[in-house]
Amino acid sequence: MELSLDILRNDTFSYVNLQRMAGNTTYVPQTLGMMQLFTPQPILGEIVHLYEEDNVIRLVPTSERGTPDVRQLRDVGRLRALKTTRLAQVDSVRAAELLGIANVSLGETIRVRNAVNLLTKRTMKMKNNLEFTKELHRFGALQGKLLDADGATVIADFFDIFGLAQPALIDFDFPNVPEEQLLQLFQDTFVRPITIALQDGGRATPGMYIACLCGDGWWAKLMSHPGFRRIYELVLTANAEAAARNQLTKPNMWMTVDFAGIRWINYQGTRNNAIAVPFNECRFFPVGAQDVFNVYWGSGETLLDADQEGRPEYLYIQPDPRTQMPEYVDAFLRSYPLYACTFPKALMRARVKP
């Protein structure tokens, strides 16, 4: 039986089509990815240059006609260089698995179909791993500190990069907050400071809002507080459709509700806490604000990619280079992202008071 891997030189497995395969492979849905918080910013190369200005708006004093005009003061700017990350995986398809591809007695259509099915299956596993890792990076950026897969190595500390101290955890004393004061206290403690910071930094937009990822303990305190229940029972009475949709009389796990100008999300993390909000804590961040969260896609590292702007993923197929004794085909999936918070002043965190 004659065997050949020339089928992998079919146009189906060309560079362009492989990129399409990588983009279309089914992946694991992730909460933060589905929220589309991060604005894609393809770049050339691996270095991101961020230019920050104070962007101060000043009042213009009145003056007499004929007197000198008030000279515009230039904003102070700072240039920072950050490096994109490298997320690279490889999976090998061994000889025994290639019989339905390398067997030239099979028709070309069958061989191409078998090759696509096999490589898609292998790519899907790597794609799921990649999406899981991207969610870890998104989660880190929302907290202002990007951590590697070990949960300890700091890839980028955006508070440090922008010369800020990370805000301390705010202790929130649920039992001692009167029900009529809960809404106002949430707004005064979290919504107003974040909104003012965004306005002062020139990031505020008309459609933005504040979101909060909640650990299970914080979520339980919120859902059981009389101030929350009182207002939402009024809403539910007037809106049976909302009651059916949100099921607030019997709250579900990992639910989302809007209250006090904040979208509360009971974040579904991992059981091993690789990606999770601590049980009694929560994280606040803006959604829809201008230039707060970006993802920079670095260029690939092969000669085919060197002069091209970065893409979300790169998929390569490399048969065993040995012509006499080929044994495998390697599938490489790579990505070069930097999930960044470029305005960490808008981040806050809190915990249930011990």
Q: What is the DSSP string of 327-349?
A: -EEEEEEEE-EEEEES-GGG-EE
Which domain range does residue 222 map to? Answer: 172-291
Q: Are residues 282 and 235 in the same domain?
A: yes
Torsion of Cα atoms, 134 then 82 then 299 then 347, to 10° = 30
Q: How far apart are CA 159 and CA 141, in angstroms?
A: 10
Same domain, residue pair 40 and 132: yes
Give a yes or no: residue 25 inside a domain.
yes
Shared domain check, 246 and 298: no
* Residue 243 within any structural domain of the chain: yes
Buried b or exposed e, range 82-110, using 16+ CB within 10 angstroms:
bebbebebeeebeeeebeebbbeebeeee
Residue 139 within a domain:
yes
Considering only residues 96 and 148, tell me which one the structure prediction assigns the higher pLDDT: 148
- Could you tell me the two tokens for 104? 């030239």
pLDDT in tens, 298-323: 999 988 887 889 999 998 878 777 77
pTM for the structure as a whole: 0.81
| pLDDT at residue 342 tops 60 | yes
Structural element, H or E, at residue 245: helix 240-246
Tokens representing 153 are 């190595």
Query: Is position 353 within any domain?
Result: no
| Contact criterion met (CB below 8 Å) for 285 and 345 | no
pLDDT band at 253 (very low <50, low <70, confident <90, very high): very low
Q: Report angle CA 7, 101, 20 to the nearest 5 degrees.
A: 60
Tokens in use for 233?
Answer: 């029972």
d(CA 39, CA 284): 19
Q: What whole-number distance in Å separates Cα of residue 45 and Cα of residue 35?
A: 27
314 and 264 together in one domain: no
Give the count of domains, the chain.
2
Residues 115 and 243 in one domain: no
User: Per-residue pLDDT tens for 182-226?
Assistant: 999 999 999 999 999 999 888 999 999 999 999 999 999 999 999
Pair 258, 138 in one domain: no
